[in-house]
Amino acid sequence: MYFLSHLLIFTVIALILFIYYRARKKLNYFKERGVPNSKAIPVFGSIWDNVIRKKHFFEVFTQLYNDFPDLRFSGFFMFNDPIYLIRDPALIKQICIKDFDHFVNHSNNIDIDIDPMLGRSVFFAKDLRWRHTRNILSPLFTGSKMRLMFSLIAQYCDKIMNTLLTNANGSAKEFEMKDIVTRFGNDIVASVAFGLEVDSLKNRDNEFYVNGKKMVKFDGWPGIKLLLASVCPRLLKLFSKSITDMKTIEFYVNLVSDTIKYREENENFSRNDMLDLLIKAKTKQSIKSDEDEHQFEESFAATEHHSLENTESSIEWTDLDIASQSGTFFFAGFETTANSTCLTIHELALNPDIQDRLRGEVDEVLEQLQGKLLPYEILQKMKYMDMVVTETLRKWPPLAQTDRVCSKQYTITNSDGTEVVLEKNDIIGIPVFAIQRDPKYFPNPEKFDPERFSDDNKHEVDPATFLTFGIGPRNCVGSRFALMQMKAIIFYILKYSRIEVSAKTQHPIQFEKSSFTLNAKNGFWVNFIPRH
Ligand code: HEM
């Protein structure tokens, strides 16, 4: 027994020393390639300040960006992984657009045998599966498809804002916006992506909302599983069957299967929602083309659709594939859209003059509509709305950084002339937040200034410095959906109320350091003053 316990202690110490030695050796990675790198410690790399919750990810990434202001790229370590941080917008464009074929995947791939739900989603898929899925999905997110869905969203926002403020009798009502906007988002996803009507403000613990919350919970054990899925999938398989809870997967697949069955049995049923389009894609029916696309004003922030080579695929779509793409609205679009909406509301509360001007635009539209529901075409024509939302997304992009993985050798040249050959599986980081807060590209970057995106000024913004929705063929497929949802919620809030700071509004706002995105530490509190 005595011998065994000593052997165990010895083995554990030897293992720790071995891991430490290997991690320390890895820290020479950039030096050996002639690339200056940010400070790093073994195992935790350059993000120690976030690991101990001293700084938010956003602050850490900004520090790494500012470490070498004159270089086109430098290096840092995300735990043990060396990452090339690309600082030069022209190089970002070259990698993500021109030479995209060398950089197709993100680093957070998940195989379908690790998680049948996430692995099928376009967000986590890689190579051929990604190309095939993206080719199917891209046509479902164009302006004309958004227009079809928009009436469901506008109706919902109008009804809910109206109910929220009944009984207020003209007096201020204090709300924590994240809770409200999350419930808005949940019901909109239920309606558009799953064909289900729920009212999460009334039925607070409805099954759809509870399962949705589980899907987007990526802190704690689910977060560790997500990290293991890309760093060490074999280890994850030892501990767990899947990242997403199997019961949650079953819930969504059953929901989608029942709805598909209903719609197939009722041929005349048409709801013009995303699920309809996904079912058509599954059964390889043609989806009406977008010849009327040009009639819509495009939001400044909406991402371009890049055509990919046509990939004939032998992958047959099942109900699980459809449930997975519908589920993508949760894990790719839920927190991002909800936080961006809350931050727009927060900025409008802090900047009453900007809010007044936006309300003026809303009122003009309301007068034009004469009680009718807001149509998508008119929403898209609201110039100041677009400027306000775009400036929020510039100042507060919900993801600090995105990335690409190199798939075949590629040479990049630094400002000092050093050439570096990127090898297969090398990772490059794109510092979204730091670039959008760099005074070189956005003077006085802390200021909330929608004028940056006015017709007179927006041509001065280099598209490769506005990266909130990413760049190139792997950009955010849901940008139009996110913008439509954010604008609809803001429109109907301003129709029914004036937003003011409340006693609980935090300014300057602080964010949860354990979160990878911008979750306010004490919530997003504001007062709504009902309008007559
Ligand atoms: C304000 C809200 C949102 C923001 C800021 C955002 C941002 C992003 C970013 C930065 C990326 C990576 C792009 C790149 O690496 O170039 C991305 C990818 C993606 N987003 Fe969004 N997103 C938002 C909302 C949504 C919504 C509502 C959906 C709905 C389906 C969505 C679906 C996706 C998908 C599927 C991808 C992966 C695309 C691919 O890998 O082909 N996003 N998003």
Least confident of 13-22, 202-211, 290-299, 387-396: 290-299
| CA 440–ligand 1 middle distance (angstroms) | 26
Domain assignment of residue 2, yes or no: no
Residue 149 belongs to domain with CATH number:
1.10.630.10
Q: How far is CA 382 from CA 305, 354, 369, 500, in A?
A: 22, 14, 13, 23
On the question of pLDDT at 112 being above 60, the answer is: yes
Both tokens of 352, joined, read 């009453």
| CA 478–ligand 1 middle distance (angstroms) | 6
Give residue 109's pLDDT: 83
Distance (Å, whole) CA 407 – CA 105: 8
SS3 assignment, position 9: helix
Residue nearest to atom 27 of ligand 1 (CA): 333
Same domain, 90 and 222: no
Whether the ω angle into residue 508 lies within 30 degrees of 0, i.e. cis, is: yes
Same domain, 458 and 503: no
Same domain, 315 and 267: yes
Q: How far is CA 87 from CA 58, 252, 404, 458, in A?
A: 15, 41, 14, 22
Distance (Å, whole) CA 148 – CA 487: 16
Domain assignment of residue 116, yes or no: no
| CA 505–ligand 1 middle distance (angstroms) | 29
| CA 117–ligand 1 middle distance (angstroms) | 17
| CA 8–ligand 1 middle distance (angstroms) | 47
Confidence of residue 225 (pLDDT cuts 50, 70, 90): confident
Angle of the 479-496 helix axis to the 143-164 helix axis, nearest 10: 30
- Residues of each annotated binding site for heme: 476
Same domain, 326 and 210: yes
Confidence of residue 248 (pLDDT cuts 50, 70, 90): confident
Report, as an integer, the average pLDDT of 402-410.
97
- Residues of each annotated binding site: 476
* Domain enclosing residue 427, as ranges: 25-106+399-467
- Spatial CB neighbours of 449, under 8 Å, sequence gap ≥ 6: 391
Give residue 377's pLDDT: 94
Residue nearest to atom 17 of ligand 1 (CA): 476
Give residue 242's pLDDT: 72
On the question of pLDDT at 298 being above 90, the answer is: no
On the question of pLDDT at 521 being above 90, the answer is: yes
Residue that terminates a domain, selected from 446, 467, 488: 467
Distance (Å, whole) CA 479 – CA 142: 10
| CA 470–ligand 1 middle distance (angstroms) | 8
* CB neighbour burial string for 275-295, b if at least 16 within 10 angstroms, e if fewer: bbbbbebbeeeeeeeeeeeee
Residue nearest to atom 18 of ligand 1 (CA): 476
> To the nearest whole number, what is the mean pLDDT of the chain?
89
Count the domains in the chain.
Answer: 2
Q: What percent of the chain has pLDDT over 90?
A: 56
Domain assignment of residue 330, yes or no: yes
Least confident of 18-22, 140-144, 315-319: 18-22
| CA 346–ligand 1 middle distance (angstroms) | 22
Domain assignment of residue 393, yes or no: no
Angle of the 334-350 helix axis to the 479-496 helix axis, nearest 10: 40
Other Cβ atoms less than 10 A from the Cβ of 454: the count is 13
Whether 182 lines ligand 1, by a CB cut-off of 6 Å, is: no
| CA 13–ligand 1 middle distance (angstroms) | 43
| CA 137–ligand 1 middle distance (angstroms) | 13
Whether 185 lines ligand 1, by a CB cut-off of 6 Å, is: no
Whether 192 lines ligand 1, by a CB cut-off of 6 Å, is: no
Whether 75 lines ligand 1, by a CB cut-off of 6 Å, is: no
Q: Which of 476, 479, 480, 483 to mutate to test the pocket of ligand 1 (most atoms within 8 A of CB)?
A: 476
Domain assignment of residue 287, yes or no: yes
Distance (Å, whole) CA 104 – CA 132: 13
Which atom in ligand 1 lies closest to the alpha carbon of residue 473?
41
Residue that terminates a domain, selected from 422, 438, 467: 467
Whether 474 lines ligand 1, by a CB cut-off of 6 Å, is: yes
More confident residue, 526 or 277: 526
On the question of pLDDT at 296 being above 80, the answer is: no
Domain assignment of residue 392, yes or no: no
Residue 88 belongs to domain with CATH number:
3.30.43.20
Whether 259 lines ligand 1, by a CB cut-off of 6 Å, is: no
Give residue 480's pLDDT: 95
Give residue 14's pLDDT: 78
Same domain, 189 and 313: yes
Same domain, 242 and 275: yes
Same domain, 128 and 205: yes
Q: Which of 181, 399, 469, 487 to mutate to test the pocket of ligand 1 (most atoms within 8 A of CB)?
A: 469
Residue nearest to atom 23 of ligand 1 (CA): 333
Whether 392 lines ligand 1, by a CB cut-off of 6 Å, is: no
Report, as an integer, the average pLDDT of 297-324.
80
Same domain, 349 and 410: no
Domain assignment of residue 300, yes or no: yes
Which atom in ligand 1 lies closest to the alpha carbon of residue 130?
41
Domain assignment of residue 114, yes or no: no
Report, as an integer, the average pLDDT of 21-30.
83
Which atom in ligand 1 lies closest to the alpha carbon of residue 328?
30
The complex's ipTM works out to: 0.99
More confident residue, 441 or 257: 441
Same domain, 312 and 261: yes
Residue that terminates a domain, selected from 467, 490, 505: 467
User: Residue 95 burial (CB < 10 Å; 0-12/13-18/19+)?
Assistant: buried
Distance (Å, whole) CA 87 – CA 420: 15
On the question of pLDDT at 472 being above 90, the answer is: yes
Whether 487 lines ligand 1, by a CB cut-off of 6 Å, is: no
More confident residue, 437 or 14: 437
Same domain, 86 and 140: no
Whether 470 lines ligand 1, by a CB cut-off of 6 Å, is: yes
Same domain, 41 and 180: no
| CA 26–ligand 1 middle distance (angstroms) | 32
Which atom in ligand 1 lies closest to the alpha carbon of residue 481?
27
Same domain, 457 and 480: no
Give ∠ CA 31-33-36 in degrees, rounded to 5: 50
